[in-house]
Chain A
Amino acid sequence: AQSVTQLDSHVSVSEGTPVLLRCNYSSSYSPSLFWYVQHPNKGLQLLLKYTSAATLVKGINGFEAEFKKSETSFHLTKPSAHMSDAAEYFCVVGWGGIWMIFGAGTRLAVHP
């Protein structure tokens, strides 16, 4: 069975400090993994994707994620948070270019 678990529903950081959003997945197949970001009242925007190439994936806006097969994890990180990073983030496991399972989301708050 396929599933995605985002380990924190809310994360709060100060501006300029590192961000860590945690995601574990379960998949019977070789998955593609994604992180999407959603700002208030907007659609989802792709941050980055893993599709069985390099395990360390760099995305937009300074975000990156590392695929760790042994830990079935795909955590999202950023060295220094910016106020504009405040949003909801979704970890997604997909396969076949069609089926995608979304995590419940992590709401990131960034304080001055």
Chain B
Amino acid sequence: DVKVTQSSRYLVKRTGEKVFLECVQDMDHENMFWYRQDPGLGLRLIYFSYDVKMKEKGDIPEGYSVSREKKERFSLILESASTNQTSMYLCASTGGEHEQYFGPGTRLTVT
């Protein structure tokens, strides 16, 4: 079974803090994704990566950056957290099949 894990299930940070969310997949997938999920809006793509050190902006990249130094690991970085970044963050990966496999999510609260 594909396994996608995320470093934290719940996180509380203060405004202005730098926040790291980490995602690891164990299936040697080329493509990895970060989404945020907000009620009534579904999932929106923040960034994705199709290879080590390669990244592409999604629909809502503002206020975020990403890092992919190893194939299995994809990090989402909030340089200076703001309250409007309070959300559920979901990581996913795919190896070129049509579907994406999701991690359990990190619920981030910025106060």
Q: Which residues of A contact B (CB under 8 A)?
A: 9, 32, 34, 36, 41-46, 49, 51, 90, 94, 97-98, 100, 102-105
Contact = CB atoms under 8 A, between A and B. Distances in A.
| Chain B, interface residues (CB within 8 Å), range | 20 to 34
A16 B56 CA distance: 45
A91 to B, nearest CB: 9
B99 A43 contact: no
Interface stretch (B13-21, B40-48, B60-68, B77-85): B40-48
Given A34-B99, A97-B96, A98-B48, A9 B40 contact: yes
Contacts, number: 52
A46 B2 CA distance: 12
Contact of B98 (A41, A43, A51): A51
Interface of B: 4, 9, 31, 40-45, 48, 50, 90, 92, 94, 96-105, 107
A43 B102 contact: yes
Contacts of A42: 104-105
Given A98-B50, A104-B42, A105-B42, A43 B103 contact: yes
